[in-house]
Amino acid sequence: MNWYEQALSRKAAIIHDLKGLLSIPSIYDPETAAPGQPMGAGVAEALRYMLQLCEAEGFRVCNHDGLVGYAEYGPEDAEHYIAVLSHLDVVPVSGDWVTPPFEPSIRDGKIYARGAIDDKGPAMASFYALKIVKELGLPLKHRIRLIFGTDEERTHQCMEKYKELEPMPACGFTPDAEFPIVCAEKGQINTRILFPSGSPGADMKGEFELVSFHSGVVANMVPEAAEAMVAGEPNRLKDLAQAYDVYCSEMKLHGTAEWKEHSLILHMAGKAAHGMEPELGMNAGLALIHFLKGYAWNGGAGHFLSTVDTLLYNDVHGRALGIAMEDDISGPLTVNSGLLQYEPQGETYFHINLRFPICGNYDELLAKISSKISDYQLETEPPSLKKPHHVPEDHPMIRALQETYVAETGQPAKLLSTGGGTYAAHFPMGVAFGPLFPGMESTAHQPNEHMEVELLLKSTAIYARAVSELGNLDL
């Protein structure tokens, strides 16, 4: 069977249907949320669109109150089903676009629109994969179920509801990451570390006052900017500004100083990166704190600066927190502090976005963190937690997907891990499978998001073969 030729022969139809889906602004919108459309009108419309396509193809469909839906094909009396999980919600639009984000446009062999690669293009590829299997009349031992989520970009409410209402699949994959196969996802701990009022040094007298310190916009990104407002004797502020210039020059950093009335404002520019790979960025907040901690400060500022510097500076693996660990499957633990704030009359804290390997346990890690920060009289907020996820390499689904990938690409099917989170982790035997090939740069969440048309066709072919193989797997 030439699966690629099957996909290629349906190219015009795939693009037509995908353009229809991409034209729907399926961004979470609480203002239009209502019964039957809990994520808003646009998201509900996208779900209806996909289910209508599936129903027209003869698939059995179900819509659970606009929160999650599915389409199924295969023997109704089969004991097991195989899941293919995609999502139809998209992130908000920002930045400059060459063409409007919900008016899909094909340029230079790429289809541009919000959601093209994340995750509407892969969702459409999955639909056509099952359509190909049906139209060819290929036999299936198991049911194949296409599950369409509506809240992947926020809280995964859709999948929590699905697990309440539906039995678990035997196994499955999500086309929302990269090829070959992502079989392991790190666990996560997200929490704020608070400096309570009355922290050590509240009565300290120094030559400078830290009026405020802010760095970061979202917790799961390495901060690309930081700002500190400093008050003090004018000549000493001038000395501080000169010393900052020298520091930035020696450290090859991009920092500037400006005057605002009688205060000095120090700016630091860093390099943004996803919180799962903090080593790829440069944390502007920690770089600025590393300079400031060398001076004498009024009140609790000195405690804030020295504590953050000791626990976090130049340490993305949690060594200072006493939690460093790694394994061969999912790699090392990472720590990102995406939000740092000092406000003498408000909240003072730093946030940790921690991703730990499958050998870790979040209860043990939290106990170690609590023990360490108690030495500095700090407190943690109740954390948001995610367990690590792993499908063993000897599972028959893994072998089937590896054989599929090798047969369709001629490339080795390495097993990968990620610090991110996908729908796959909601099911015990779930993995991520495509659509990006090794070395491809993702434009997800970015202006001018796109998916190469050739990638759309190749992934459709791979998914068609995978669905056929998994649908006849010996479980």
d(CA 208, CA 471): 68
Q: How far apart are the first and last CA of the chain?
A: 24
Measured in degrees and rounded to the nearest 5, phi and psi for residue 328 equal: -75, -20
Of the residues 17, 118, 119, 152, only one is catalytic, namely 152
Tell me the domains of the chain and their CATH numbers.
3-184+389-470 (3.40.630.10), 188-386 (3.30.70.360)
What distance lies between CA 37 and its chain's CA centroid? 24
* 80 token code pair: 């097991």
Q: Which of 145, 184, 186, 141 is nearest to 162 (CA)?
A: 145
Q: Give the residue ranges of DSSP H helices in 313-378.
A: 362-374
Going by C-beta distance under 8 Å and a sequence separation of 6 or more, which residues neighbour residue 20?
49
Of the residues 17, 72, 89, 452, only one is catalytic, namely 89
| Length of the chain measured in residues | 475
Per-residue pLDDT in tens (0 to 9) along the chain, 475 residues: 999 999 999 999 999 999 999 999 999 999 999 999 999 999 999 999 999 999 999 999 999 999 999 999 999 999 999 999 999 999 888 888 999 999 999 999 999 999 999 999 999 999 999 999 999 999 999 999 999 999 998 889 999 999 999 999 999 999 999 999 999 999 999 999 999 986 676 677 888 999 999 999 888 889 999 999 999 999 999 999 999 999 999 999 999 999 988 899 999 999 988 888 999 899 999 999 999 999 999 989 999 999 999 999 999 999 999 999 999 999 999 999 999 999 998 999 999 999 999 999 999 999 999 999 999 999 999 999 999 999 999 999 999 999 999 999 999 999 999 988 889 999 999 999 999 999 998 888 888 999 999 999 999 999 999 999 999 999 8
Q: Are 148 and 86 within 8 A, CB to CB?
A: yes
Cβ burial of 86 (10 Å; 0-12, 13-18, 19+) is buried
Average pLDDT, rounded, for the chain: 95
d(CA 415, CA 421): 16
Q: Are 45 and 24 within 8 A, CB to CB?
A: yes
Going by C-beta distance under 8 Å and a sequence separation of 6 or more, which residues neighbour residue 79?
142
Q: What are the Cα distances from residue 216, in Å, to 94, 420, 464?
A: 18, 19, 43
pLDDT value at residue 202: 66
Known catalytic membership, residue 239: no
Q: Are 202 and 218 within 8 A, CB to CB?
A: no
Q: What pTM did the predictor assign?
A: 0.84
Beta strand 340-342 pairing with 349-356: antiparallel
d(CA 140, CA 243): 71
366-414: pLDDT as tens digits: 999 999 999 999 999 999 999 999 999 999 999 999 999 999 999 999 9
d(CA 451, CA 90): 14
Known catalytic membership, residue 343: no
Q: Are 289 and 313 within 8 A, CB to CB?
A: yes
